[in-house]
Structure 1
Amino acid sequence: MNQFKVNVNGVLLLDKPKGLSSNKALVKVKKIYNAKKAGHAGTLDPLATGVLPILLGEATKFAMFGLNSDKRYLAYIALGTKTSTGDSEGEIIDKKYFQVDVQQINYVLESVLGEQFQLPPMYSALKYRGKPLYKYARDGIEVSRKKRIVFIRSIRLIALKNSVMTIDVTCSKGTYIRSLSEQIGEKLGGCAHLMDLRRTEVGASTIEESVSLEKLETLFNNSPENLKLELRPVEFFIANLPSVSLKENERKIFLHGQSLRLGFKENKSESKISYRVYDDYGVFLGTGELNLDGTLKPIRLISQQTFN
């Protein structure tokens, strides 16, 4: 690998291993690809495994689309014990053993569906006065937090064995599965904590599409030229947006950040529609907003160095 950083553009779907923070996983991937710029779309706790989208180069411009996507998890919840952190890394602070059946669990799971206010746990990366909450928690300090609106899209019981229940849950961004696990335990008449967590989907990306860090390291050592085969397109997280192709003269205007009038108009109620914008050869140029009068305004542009 060249000692100098290079322009690498695309989205890598990493299957993050247990015991590694999202930022450390990001650093490893960035080093493997020798990339100048990288970011990720949705933090996973070190305890958790699963889909962690890594955005390289120009793909970082569209990180918010990944961050705002719904997430899907397999959560393993230990019933009867509460911990200081809400997961298996904390100390047990309460025990309430109780018997439940599948019918009771399904009733409780149905009750948490939809919109709800959730209080972020103290052991989280949310910041208070510039400092992560978990640092206050480690010092024994509890600070005031605002409840946030989250949405549970779907939730179902997969298994119940030896006081451990496995659930499949799809939820909005910002949902804390640790807090949800504790809520479920309380609704069942006892307590609970999150024993293990695996993220299986981020938006339309799935765990089946993801690659392990071990495989990336093997490619790096044996066939680095194949690393690029693991990358998705820069526009991966905006594939659901409608697209428009520009002619050469329109392309130049768009890439200079200027609005241009297209030969069609949107017949929708929204005053502005976001579009993926391509040239006549299918090269992705960025995103734009199409107004009702047919004017396309550039919003996010791909660096022209990408085309060289």
Structure 2
Amino acid sequence: MARVVYNSRGESMIAGLLLLDKPQDASSFDMVREVKGILKVKKVGHFGTLDPMATGLLLIALDQATKFFDLFQERSKTYRATVELGVCTDTYDMTGTVLRRKSVSVSEGELKEALNRFLGDILQVPPMFSAKKHQGQPLYKLAREGKSIEREPVKVRIESLNLTEFSSSSFSFDVTTSSGTYIRSLANDIGELLGTGAALSALRRIRIGDFHVEHAITLEDLRQSAEEENYLRYILPIESIFPEFPKIILTPRGAVLAGNGAKVPLEEVAKVEGVRADYFKLFDDEGRFLCLAKPDIPQRVFRPVVMLQH
């Protein structure tokens, strides 16, 4: 559970991570605005965008958790997708303008063979209707003006791709990918390989790293829990953002140094939980998360990178 901390004016600040189950036809920014209003938190953001048509897991950062956007590690993601065959759209999904349709005749065996071609490292061209930027401007804004820009293919990784449903006109699959993969582009590329054309008709994100949608709360339930004043049980502590980083308990003197942003000598480490990594989570002896720090092995110190207010 997250802690409520207080700023210099004595105002409460809810800091932590909220796992939200985003509904369809709402943007990620819509969810940020809604959560901000429900929880009365001034600073809210999200890790990883979901298209409006998509549902599922959206990681919401509350207050001081937003300090860690730049250090959020690349995590694999799992999606459940449904694709319609025999149709091509300008957005690569069924929310866009249909460019062409055709009758299709694809067997389940042919489809499975095509899906296997996308396993591993592949080059993927981002869709024009995306937040990728060209000369500082999002591609989707250029696309809405009727412009098409040459996009460089990006290397992504498809870790697994499993067919779950199949019919003559559509199919569904579960896919685990590296960060930065566009499932819309994957659907379009599968259609091109089959020679049928294809467009994404449904998408649900079910996992980001160690976080699963089964543990997420809907906006309606969050609103109700806020009215009942028991919403804190749904907010994870900030340190849960980085389960892969080791935990260090500091001596009282080390905690003071870390809290002030000063380098912490190795002699001030009371306990270490985990193995060596690029970053470490530093705590005081009461279990308060003080900062994320980077080890300086030659100098035998930890250098705070992002500090928290207590």
Task: Report the TM-score, using the length of structure 1 for normalisation.
Answer: 0.90
The one-letter code matched in structure 1 to 2:26 is: L
- What RMSD over aligned residues (CA atoms) do the two structures have, in Å? 2.2
Deviation at 1:162, TM superposition (A): 4.4
SS at match of 1:273: coil
Separation in 2, partners of 1:108, 1:65: 36
Deviation at 1:144, TM superposition (A): 2.5
Separation in 1, partners of 2:262, 2:282: 14
Deviation at 1:6, TM superposition (A): 4.4
Contact 1:41 1:64 in 2 (8 A): no
Equivalent position of 1:260 in the other structure: 264
Separation in 2, partners of 1:262, 1:243: 14
Gapped regions of structure 1 (runs ≥ 5): none
SS at match of 2:279: strand
Separation in 1, partners of 2:42, 2:296: 35
**Aligned match for 1:244, one of 248, 251, 273:** 248
SS at match of 2:110: helix
Question: Does the alignment pair 1:280 with 2:299?
Answer: no
SS at match of 1:7: strand
Separation in 1, partners of 2:259, 2:132: 37
C-alpha distance 41-67 of structure 1, shift in aligned 2 (>3 A): farther
C-alpha distance 5-76 of structure 1, shift in aligned 2 (>3 A): farther
Task: Report the TM-score, using the length of structure 2 for normalisation.
Answer: 0.90
Deviation at 1:102, TM superposition (A): 2.4
Question: Does the alignment pair 1:154 with 2:154?
Answer: no
Gapped regions of structure 2 (runs ≥ 5): 1-9
Separation in 2, partners of 1:61, 1:235: 12
- The total of aligned residue pairs comes to 296
Equivalent position of 1:43 in the other structure: 49
**Aligned match for 2:221, one of 215, 233, 236:** 215
Deviation at 1:67, TM superposition (A): 6.5
Separation in 2, partners of 1:98, 1:85: 21
Contact 2:106 2:168 in 1 (8 A): no
**Aligned match for 1:97, one of 97, 103, 106:** 103
Contact 2:292 2:305 in 1 (8 A): yes
Question: Does the alignment pair 1:15 with 2:13?
Answer: no
Separation in 2, partners of 1:100, 1:119: 25
Separation in 2, partners of 1:15, 1:215: 10
SS at match of 2:238: coil
Deviation at 1:70, TM superposition (A): 1.5
What is the CA deviation profile of residues 256-283 of structure 1, one whole-angstrom value per residue up to 9, with x for unaligned ones? 222122148x9xxx8x731111111111
Question: Does the alignment pair 1:33 with 2:42?
Answer: no
Deviation at 1:189, TM superposition (A): 2.4
